[in-house]
Chain A
Amino acid sequence: MDDKDQMGTTTTMLATVAAFVLVLLAFYGLDHFIMAIQGLPLNLDLSPAG
């Protein structure tokens, strides 16, 4: 592989990792939000609160 391809591979890997982290956070927030609006609060580790 020449340099250009290697850059492309690293970028893709970074993009993938970044995407995963972002999406994980988004779904984490979604879980909290959806449970909260039903009156079912969660702790930070997603266990039922109170």
Chain B
Amino acid sequence: MNNDTVQITGRNRIVLWISLVVALLFGSGGMNIAYAADAGVGSDSVEARIAPIGRVQIEGQEPIPENVVSKTEGEEKELIAAPRPSRGDYPDIGVSSRAVVWVLAQMHLFFAALVLAVPLFVLVIELMGFKTGDERYDDMAHEFMKISLTGFSITAIFGGSLALALFVLYPDLMGYMMRVFGAQWLVYAGLFFLESFFLYTYYYGWKAMRYGNLKWVHLTLGLLLNASGMTIMVLSNSWATFMMAPSGVNEVGAVIGNIWEVMKGPLWNPINLHRFIANIAFGGAVVGAYAAFKFLSTSDPAKRAHYDWMGYTSNFIAILAFLPLPFAGYWLMAEIYAYSQQMGITAMGGILAWLFIVQAVLIGTILLAGNFYLWSGMSRTEGSVRYQPLIKYIAFVLVICFLTWVTPHTLMLSASEIAELGGSHHHILGPLGIMPAKNIAVNLMLVVTFLSFQLYRRSDKIATVSWAKAGNALLVAIYVVAMVNIIFLGVYYGYFTNTVYKVGSSVAQVGSTLVVIIAGIVIDSLMFRNAKTLPSHWGRIPDRSQYALFALPIAFTWLMGLMGYVRSSVKTHWHVYTVMKDNSPDNFIPTIGYAGNMITIVTVLFLLFVLFMFWIANLSATKQSKPVGALEGGAG
């Protein structure tokens, strides 16, 4: 088929490529380990490493022989404490500096998340297209890249503005951060050159490197685009996590460790994982909105089929990435608690606690929208009829769990209200407000969402394996027992044992959910081998289902903004927690109403910019037809 003289066989190519990927990963991982070992990370206690090593030498006395115990890189560095600006040291531009930085930072993060996520799933879809030989995958991957291309410039514009705002409005903080991170920001800046190179060659070379060996080159470019993007993200993540949980510096902020110790704080990897997964979910949701809009805007059945498929794929990506997200978030919160119980409780038991009720509303929206879209999609296939009766039970579970999750625990009550209520908490609904109940609710919601998924995936197939009945029985048992287990763990350890067991039981709940997901995937992939496929009609889905695809990115966007508010506020009145105090006029945690307004502003801004981004994508494909017979009323 190919005119190339040397053809590496298909399987060898895959082996070669996987080896390259693995080698890159190990190489970079190995470097990390080497650096870490070199720095002695984790080997000595903090006390041992910063014990004074000098002694007083009186002039005229015999010089005491040097007995240097450890020669760390920091020895030649001057120890300079973090600055302590007074209120007057902060520039005043007439509007709240924090508000300015808030908007710019959040816009930057929205678009950065988008442009990190899209190449990720684009690469996977392109690979799938290559593997199956189905051109539609490749075309869709290309289309996803096209519609998000402008996003890269928008990210850069907001990034530049953010940097400007930070340096102008918070000069002391930024001076300190530059001192702490040293040349790391140069690496960060340099990576943008790399990323741009890979982006342009990957996108503009799509058609030129379409088949054969060149396709492998193209895939590699895509991989490198993702690698550089990922590296950019983890570098900038280290700034945020340093501000929350500083490492590599002493009590007054003087740098005593090397750059790896500074970067590799307790929150760095949890944030890396959380943002990695969340970006994918967010990116899927945003491109899904595009597909939904295009679906509604056309009456051509072929186009509707195409955009329906695109919407389904986007929703698939969004919900699939969304399922493990609570666990990544849990790990992040657990690390915050381990680092500072005070910070953890400020987030979830103190002033910011109500926020997580709002989060419940948002995630409930996301799950309801995602499920609703899946159920609507069942009308694409005839085989879905057998599963229709289950939908109302899933909906019921979702609603009950959502209401449980939304129930607050501690209410601000006046004395008369307390008297009416008969106490500071409602005697029936009160217990629903604390963590065990919420963990039950979340895990059950994830389990039934996965069930919706699984039912949808099954609805265009009929199993032909001999053990289908046994397999189904096993699956039913797994679902039922898992749900019972989740409830048991939450109720028993949550309400009848002590705090430590209560917290530990949530891990077991998560484990149960994961067992359901993994077992479901494994059993279905085995059971539906060589299955009989039923016809499925892309495009045959009610219009109202597309609004679910609008709800997803709006909820995701708003949720991201909300979580940014938490991340920043949990540092209370510190720029860098425990190390550099915030003495600016805005050094208080704003009310949730104020935050809500700010988040809405950035969400609306994001909506407008995304519409612009999609419009540009369409504009580039539009061709104005040449005016015919220019004499009458035409341009001269």
Contact among B478, B489, B498 for A48, CB-based, below 8 A: B498
Chain B residues closer than 8 Å to A31, beta-carbon distance: 485, 489, 508
Contact among B470, B478, B501, B515 for A40, CB-based, below 8 A: B501
Q: How many residues of B contact A (CB 8 A)?
A: 25
Q: Does B473 contact A (CB under 8 A)?
A: yes
Measured CB to CB, the nearest residue on chain B to A21 is: B477
Q: How many residues of A contact B (CB 8 A)?
A: 22
Report B465-524 residues with CB < 8 Å from chain A CB: 469-470, 473-474, 476-478, 480-482, 485, 489, 492-493, 497-498, 500-501, 504-505, 507-508, 511-512, 515
**Cα–Cα, bound, A38→B500 (Å):** 10
Contact among A12, A23, A34, A46 for B477, CB-based, below 8 A: A23
Chain B residues closer than 8 Å to A23, beta-carbon distance: 474, 477-478, 481
Measured CB to CB, the nearest residue on chain A to B500 is: A40
Chain B residues closer than 8 Å to A16, beta-carbon distance: 473, 476-477
Beta-carbon contact of B501 and A48 below 8 Å: yes
**Cα–Cα, bound, A15→B504 (Å):** 33
Q: Does A30 contact B (CB under 8 A)?
A: yes
Chain A residues closer than 8 Å to B469, beta-carbon distance: 8, 11-12, 15
Beta-carbon contact of B508 and A30 below 8 Å: yes
Measured CB to CB, the nearest residue on chain A to B508 is: A34
Kindly supply a per-residue 1/0 record for chain A positions 1-40, scoring 1 wherever the CB is within 8 Å of any chain B CB and 0 otherwise. Answer: 0000000100110011011101110110011001100101
Chain A interface (Cβ within 8 Å of chain B)?
8, 11-12, 15-16, 18-20, 22-24, 26-27, 30-31, 34-35, 38, 40, 46-48
The list of the 3 closest CB pairs from A to B, nearest first, reads A19-B477, A23-B477, A34-B508
Chain B interface (Cβ within 8 Å of chain A)?
469-470, 473-474, 476-478, 480-482, 485, 489, 492-493, 497-498, 500-501, 504-505, 507-508, 511-512, 515
Q: List 30 A-B contacts (CB under 8 A).
A: A8-B469, A12-B473, A16-B473, A16-B477, A19-B470, A19-B477, A20-B480, A23-B478, A24-B477, A24-B481, A26-B515, A27-B481, A27-B482, A27-B515, A30-B508, A31-B489, A31-B508, A34-B508, A34-B511, A35-B504, A35-B505, A35-B508, A40-B501, A40-B504, A46-B492, A47-B497, A48-B493, A48-B497, A48-B498, A48-B501
